[in-house]
């Protein structure tokens, strides 16, 4: 009897282990372990091509990246330009689209919503190839339309000035709907009372937007921006298909640069150090955003 009761207590006390364990194991296996592995790798020199395994080099990889590698700074600059050129535009357009869609209450909304997500659910490589065809300077659709309007053709991905904006344009096309959908969901979840109060007080539409909708929506906005920001940092497929980092280094963002070091030149330690720098940068930016969110007294769902 006593033993069985002890077993019962044990079961009640520790049964959670069985529920939590699978998740913990999976997390350990696919997140924590690779993180630690790559951190340790980043402190070694290891080139797959060469015989001989890992050679301890301490912080050499990081020092080399930060102080010797002439292209790292270029890649970093391109990355930040890319972020600055895509996320804010996606946000502004996404917000506008969300506000418009919010007004539409007729049945067509279902159709609109579905067609809106198409760019975001397409395989990124397909998006890249479609845009590559459109950007083709001789046979592409975009230059055809420019010609119809009597404008000179643009060498979209071929010239160092227009290559990065061209990639940004494809990115904006692909991810604005995602932004719009999140913001639309946020709008639809807003409480009705403040709006009713505003109507009673005789607020104009502009005032309602400025003083009620936007402040109430800001937690969702920050989350949406955060997700896109982290995603943009990791952009790879568009660059890979559209420009391959060229012309020169004009579209070589950090993630692509890291890929080349890892899988083209096989400097695994160096590539790991590069990815760790990427992780640190993204984390710092995310922390700053979350902090401003908290300090303004904005609550985020689950945060």
Position 248 contacts other proteins (CB under 8 A): yes
- Mapped onto helix, strand or coil, the DSSP state of residue 56 is strand
Position 55 contacts other proteins (CB under 8 A): no
Position 266 contacts other proteins (CB under 8 A): yes
Position 250 contacts other proteins (CB under 8 A): yes
- 184-187, long-range: CB < 8 A, 24+ apart: 184/97, 184/98, 184/101, 184/102, 184/113, 185/220, 186/98, 186/217, 186/219, 186/220, 186/221, 186/224, 187/98, 187/99, 187/102, 187/213, 187/217
Which residues, at least 6 apart from 203, have a Cβ–Cβ distance to it below 8 Å? 211, 212
Site string for other proteins, 159-198 (x = CB under 8 A): xx--------------------------------------
Nearer to other proteins, 194 or 246 (CB): 246
Nearer to other proteins, 27 or 133 (CB): 133
CB of 64 to other proteins, least distance (A): 8
How far is it between the farthest Cα atoms of the chain? 93
CB of 230 to other proteins, least distance (A): 27
CB of 155 to other proteins, least distance (A): 6
Q: How far is CA 6 from CA 2, 9, 17, in A?
A: 6, 5, 17
CB of 280 to other proteins, least distance (A): 23
Nearer to other proteins, 95 or 142 (CB): 142
Position 138 contacts other proteins (CB under 8 A): yes
CA distance 175 to 179: 7
Position 263 contacts other proteins (CB under 8 A): yes
Q: How far is CA 26 from CA 29, 38, 272, in A?
A: 5, 18, 22
Position 145 contacts other proteins (CB under 8 A): no
Contact of 284 with 290, CB cutoff 8 Å: no
List interacting residues with other proteins (CB under 8 A). 48-51, 68-71, 135-138, 153, 155-160, 243-250, 260, 263-266
């Amino acid at each position: 009897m006593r033993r069985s009761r002890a077993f019962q207590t044990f079961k009640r006390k520790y049964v959670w282990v069985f529920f939590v364990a699978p998740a913990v194991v999976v997390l350990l296996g696919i997140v924590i372990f690779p993180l630690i592995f790559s951190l340790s790798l980043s402190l070694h020199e290891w080139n797959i091509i060469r015989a001989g395994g890992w050679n301890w080099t301490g912080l050499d990889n990081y020092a080399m990246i930060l102080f010797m590698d002439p292209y790292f700074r270029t890649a970093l600059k391109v990355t930040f330009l890319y972020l600055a050129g895509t996320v804010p535009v996606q946000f502004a357009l996404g917000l506008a689209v969300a506000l418009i869609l919010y007004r539409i209450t007729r049945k067509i909304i279902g159709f609109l919503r579905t067609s809106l997500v198409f760019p975001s659910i397409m395989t990124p490589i397909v998006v890249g190839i479609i845009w590559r065809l459109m950007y083709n300077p001789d046979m592409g659709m975009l230059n055809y339309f420019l010609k119809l309007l009597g404008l000179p053709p643009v060498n979209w991905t071929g010239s160092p000035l227009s290559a990065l904006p061209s990639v940004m344009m494809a990115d904006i096309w692909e991810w604005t709907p995602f932004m719009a959908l999140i913001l639309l969901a946020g709008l639809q979840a807003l409480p009705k009372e403040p709006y009713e109060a505003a109507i009673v007080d005789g607020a104009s539409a502009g005032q309602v937007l400025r003083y009620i909708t936007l402040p109430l929506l800001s937690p969702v906005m920050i989350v949406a921006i955060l997700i896109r920001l982290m995603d943009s940092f990791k952009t790879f497929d568009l660059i890979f298909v559209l420009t391959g980092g060229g012309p020169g280094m004009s579209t070589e963002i950090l993630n692509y640069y890291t890929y080349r070091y890892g899988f083209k030149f096989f400097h695994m330690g160096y590539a790991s150090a590069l990815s760790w720098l990427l992780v640190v940068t993204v984390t710092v930016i995310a922390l700053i955003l979350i902090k401003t969110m908290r300090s303004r007294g904005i609550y985020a769902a689950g945060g």
